[in-house]
Structure 1
Amino acid sequence: MSISPTGAPPGDGSPGAGRRGTRELVRRLFHAPHPPAPLFAGSPGRWLRLLPYPAVLALTSVFVPVTIQVLVNDYGVPGGIAGALAVGQAAPMLMLVHRPLRAWWIVFGTDVAGALVLLGLPEREGTIWPWTPPAMIGCLFVLLAVALREPRRVLTGVWLATGAAGLVLHLVAPGRSDGGALLLWVLGAVVLVIGAAVRERSEAQRRLVEQETISEAERARRTLLEERTRIARELHDVVAHHMSVITVQADSAPYRIGGLSEEARAEFASIAGSARESLSEMRRLLSVLRSDGAGGELAPQPGLGRLQQLVEATVRAGFPAELSLATEVRDAVERGDVPQTVDLSAYRIVQEALANAVRHAPGARTRVSVTASDGHLTILVVNDPPPQAGSPLEVSGTGHGLVGMRERVRLTGGTLDTGPLPDGGFRVAARLPLPPSRPPSASPAPEDL
């Protein structure tokens, strides 16, 4: 359905609006601006999209015989002429689904022709003129279909054309006209206003849904960018630590290792200089990333060693939670075998999973499990359904919290699996790769320092 937010309302009978509506009416008759999409084509329900087809078929099958019977029995029209008028007045209703405006042109012209035919016949008691009852009711159905499809300027032209035709016929035979022309004009205005209101409301709802979709996409994109910026800040701290260690080792190597040649000393000096230059570049980058003045980002980055504190803070806030940290994970953290990116990502994933459980399932028991096997760190956060059917802190989730988890997992090259459980709870499972474990006597590799 198309809609034009401008133009005069259907009941605006000003000369300017009438001229614009008439021009638009004629132009759209021969040059339709929209494709022949059916009425209610944008409706979400399939039954509503199919409803117009049986409706117009039923209207046509009812109005054709009824019109013939009324014209022959009540007005004394010959059978052949009555059949032709009935087809012209009712058969175009089959076009209402795709081309309601063109159907109105045919019906409108046939109604005028029928009024002229009746004018040449003797007047019968109990009949109305210029419009017969079937013609009047059928015209209202056609006007409703036009109002559900066309903009206001066209509706104004349709309404004025209907009123003008009735006025001309009334002036031709004022003694025979008994108010039928005025009745159709008034009822037509009511139908056009109702149809226009329904169409504009539907269009407003469609635009609102589109805007909400766009806004949701923008929020998801903004969340993604914010999480990537946060990861970049944290990654800087991790890399800066390693580069500082490399600089110190390269500077102190000539003093710690005796008998170095001049070439070796120059090589260590070059390594130290490159490391300092890299640190300077990263500091400039960090000044841009921290331009929002987030002072909290200057704190040391958390890791698996602080999961116990995180869970305890959740419990103190009134939300039951428990932590299961495998012994091999504790040992790996104490030995420093867990890369800092994996260590930090694991903490952030648990942090976000606990926050989601607090927001969407308040009061539900949450279990956090961290294990290590087969060269992977497995993080499992499962929350039960809420203990009572109370309203959560957030009625519907946007999924933006999962965006950060996916970015963390992508950073480390791991996998993430999230989803609801059959009992109404929710599960977050992440697998992050770990480097091969070193023998206790092995010296740390340079990249691990």
Structure 2
Amino acid sequence: MINPSTGQARGNPLRALVTPLLRPSADHTPLLAQASRRWVRYLPYVMALAAISSLLPSSINVLSHDYGLNTGLAAALSVAQTAPLLLAPSRPLPAWWMIGVTDLLTSLLILTTGHTSSVWPWPATGLVGYLLLMLPLALRETRRTLVSVWLVTAAASLALSLMGSVRDFGGDNSLLAIALTGAVLLLGGALRERAEARRLLTEQEHISEAERERRTLLEERARIARELHDVVAHHMSVIAVQAASAPYRISGVPAEAAEEFTAIAGSARESLAEMRRLLGVLRSEESAAEKAPQPGVEQLAQLVETVGRAGVPAELTVAPELAEGVPQAVGLSAYRIVQEALANVVRHAPGARTWVSLATDGPALLVTVVNAPPPERTESLEASAEGTGQGLVGMRERVRLVDGRLDTGPLPDGGFKVAAVLPLDAPRETPA
């Protein structure tokens, strides 16, 4: 079959054999580079230098005396056979090309000499250097590459053995070279795959640990949600029931007081419903699981009215162009900011006159909540005058979510101001 993208035959055995040899590993990190000790990181290069130091003079002596090569030529071939071992820790496949071609050339040159008393086709020193190269090659390259290296080695050994069969050499070590090369490649490949399996197992353990931590976090959130519901919901339910039943349990309650009790019961039920919705989010795995409709600019009038019944005279001003077209995320942020600002007025400045305004400032929504100083002899409802500061943190978080700006601080006359600028071009969300 023909590959339409390359125009070459698929499944060509020669191509399948040569292709892995032409594509060395892209990872050039030296062997043992991740070791914590410095001397261990340098160990592969020290071993390579030791091998070169021992093999180089021995190879020159063997090639010149046992095989009859010229001393200069023997020295050049020996350097070419041993020096690439320095590349073995980081680039073993290019080193294999250099050493393999040199070993093949050496054997062909030996064939031209008249010395036949030594073994053929691989001199002992060259075979030792070749086997030393096989270990870092097996630790770095893929299984397919190792198979290609072994097949090329076997083919070259058998071909040279056949070429030297017409000569009376002292011995044939081609089968020994094939067996030893295969054994070293098999051992190195097994070590590499074992190390890879351990690495994957370690990664899987880390993933499992992260999942356990995540599951523990969700369980803790669910436990907190249950505790909040048990504690807060009980008291809120009691408040709602007592406020709703007060006009019937107490005789002679004025109409204004009965209306006030009704408002208190309604506020308690609304707070209880909102708390349950938030606890549902806390129980869920993702905060996006919330399904109930969220408040927006349209509910601000009801919010201001509720605060007014709590004893804080508040006025709301909304620009006519904001009646429609406010993105849901911006409307929700505006509502929460106003809600928290008014709650702070109720807690820290009860009875203070308050003004809430929403207007457009170019492509942004300007939300302003300003309260006057509280009336004289009015005490804060908070035990600490400074409060916890969580309300302002929540406002800043709301503003940050829509890429807006927040400005808060006291006024010279003793009042307080909250001003937020919320971009109106925030991404629109699909209504829940």
TM-score, normalising length: structure 1: 0.55
Equivalent residue for 1:161, pick from 152, 159, 179? 152
Which whole-Å deviations, capped at 9, do the CAs of 1:263-317 have from their partners, x for residues lacking one? Answer: 44323212202323444565677789999xxxxxxxxxxxxxxxxxxxxxxxxxx
User: Within 1, Cα distance between the matches of 2:37 and 2:210?
Assistant: 24
Opposite residue 166 of structure 2, the aligned amino acid is: G
Please report the RMSD computed on the Cα atoms of aligned residues, expressed in angstroms: 2.9
Look up the match of 1:139: 130
SS at match of 1:167: helix
* Aligned 1:313-392 pairs, distance under 5 A: none
User: Within 2, Cα distance between the matches of 1:229 and 1:89?
Assistant: 68
Look up the match of 2:386: none
Look up the match of 1:429: none
Look up the match of 1:236: 229
1:101 aligns with 2:97: no
* Aligned 1:261-340 pairs, distance under 5 A: 262-280=255-273
Equivalent residue for 2:68, pick from 67, 73, 76? 76
Look up the match of 2:218: 225
User: Within 1, Cα distance between the matches of 2:250 and 2:240?
Assistant: 16
Opposite residue 137 of structure 2, the aligned amino acid is: V
User: Within 2, Cα distance between the matches of 1:217 and 1:290?
Assistant: 19
SS at match of 1:173: helix
Opposite residue 260 of structure 2, the aligned amino acid is: E
Of the structure 1 ranges 143-152 and 172-181, higher mean CA displacement relative to structure 2 is found in 172-181
User: Within 1, Cα distance between the matches of 2:260 and 2:25?
Assistant: 75
1:258 positional shift? 7.9
1:119 positional shift? 1.1
Query: Is the CA contact 1:104–1:142 (under 8 Å) kept in the aligned structure 2?
Result: yes
Look up the match of 2:57: 65
1:150 aligns with 2:141: yes
Opposite residue 214 of structure 2, the aligned amino acid is: R
1:54 aligns with 2:50: no
Of the structure 1 ranges 34-43 and 253-262, higher mean CA displacement relative to structure 2 is found in 253-262
Of the structure 1 ranges 174-183 and 142-151, higher mean CA displacement relative to structure 2 is found in 174-183
User: Within 2, Cα distance between the matches of 1:221 and 1:41?
Assistant: 33
1:173 aligns with 2:164: yes
User: Within 2, Cα distance between the matches of 1:145 and 1:78?
Assistant: 32
User: Within 2, Cα distance between the matches of 1:188 and 1:19?
Assistant: 22
Query: Is the CA contact 1:155–1:192 (under 8 Å) kept in the aligned structure 2?
Result: yes
Look up the match of 2:121: 130
Query: Is the CA contact 1:88–1:106 (under 8 Å) kept in the aligned structure 2?
Result: yes
Query: Is the CA contact 1:21–1:155 (under 8 Å) kept in the aligned structure 2?
Result: no
Look up the match of 1:22: 18
User: Within 2, Cα distance between the matches of 1:16 and 1:89?
Assistant: 31
SS at match of 2:69: coil
Look up the match of 1:214: 207
Distance change >3 Å, CA 274–CA 219, structure 1 → 2: same
User: Within 2, Cα distance between the matches of 1:83 and 1:150?
Assistant: 30
Distance change >3 Å, CA 234–CA 46, structure 1 → 2: farther
SS at match of 1:68: helix
Unaligned runs of 5+ in 2: 1-10, 285-382, 384-432
1:191 aligns with 2:187: no
Opposite residue 217 of structure 1, the aligned amino acid is: A
Opposite residue 203 of structure 1, the aligned amino acid is: E
Opposite residue 213 of structure 1, the aligned amino acid is: H
Equivalenced residue count is 273
User: Within 2, Cα distance between the matches of 1:179 and 1:260?
Assistant: 119
1:25 positional shift? 1.1
Distance change >3 Å, CA 205–CA 25, structure 1 → 2: same
Percent identity between matched residues is 53
TM-score, normalising length: structure 2: 0.58
Query: Is the CA contact 1:244–1:275 (under 8 Å) kept in the aligned structure 2?
Result: yes
Unaligned runs of 5+ in 1: 1-14, 292-374, 376-449
SS at match of 2:141: coil
1:262 positional shift? 3.6
SS at match of 1:69: helix
Look up the match of 2:238: 245
User: Within 2, Cα distance between the matches of 1:236 and 1:166?
Assistant: 81
User: Within 2, Cα distance between the matches of 1:184 and 1:193?
Assistant: 14
Distance change >3 Å, CA 287–CA 90, structure 1 → 2: closer
Opposite residue 149 of structure 1, the aligned amino acid is: R
Look up the match of 2:337: none
Opposite residue 237 of structure 2, the aligned amino acid is: S
Which whole-Å deviations, capped at 9, do the CAs of 1:409-447 have from their partners, x for residues lacking one? Answer: xxxxxxxxxxxxxxxxxxxxxxxxxxxxxxxxxxxxxxx
Of the structure 1 ranges 276-285 and 49-58, higher mean CA displacement relative to structure 2 is found in 276-285
Specify the structure having the higher radius of gyration (Cα). 2
SS at match of 2:114: coil
Query: Is the CA contact 1:72–1:78 (under 8 Å) kept in the aligned structure 2?
Result: yes
1:182 positional shift? 1.7
User: Within 2, Cα distance between the matches of 1:59 and 1:113?
Assistant: 21
User: Within 2, Cα distance between the matches of 1:155 and 1:44?
Assistant: 29
Which whole-Å deviations, capped at 9, do the CAs of 1:8-33 have from their partners, x for residues lacking one? Answer: xxxxxxx977752422112x1xxx34
Query: Is the CA contact 2:139–2:191 (under 8 Å) kept in the aligned structure 1?
Result: yes
Query: Is the CA contact 1:18–1:157 (under 8 Å) kept in the aligned structure 2?
Result: no
Query: Is the CA contact 2:221–2:282 (under 8 Å) kept in the aligned structure 1?
Result: no
User: Within 1, Cα distance between the matches of 2:228 and 2:211?
Assistant: 25
Query: Is the CA contact 1:17–1:156 (under 8 Å) kept in the aligned structure 2?
Result: no
User: Within 1, Cα distance between the matches of 2:247 and 2:119?
Assistant: 115
Look up the match of 1:432: none
Of the structure 1 ranges 66-75 and 261-270, higher mean CA displacement relative to structure 2 is found in 261-270
1:257 positional shift? 7.5
Opposite residue 203 of structure 2, the aligned amino acid is: E
1:260 positional shift? 6.0
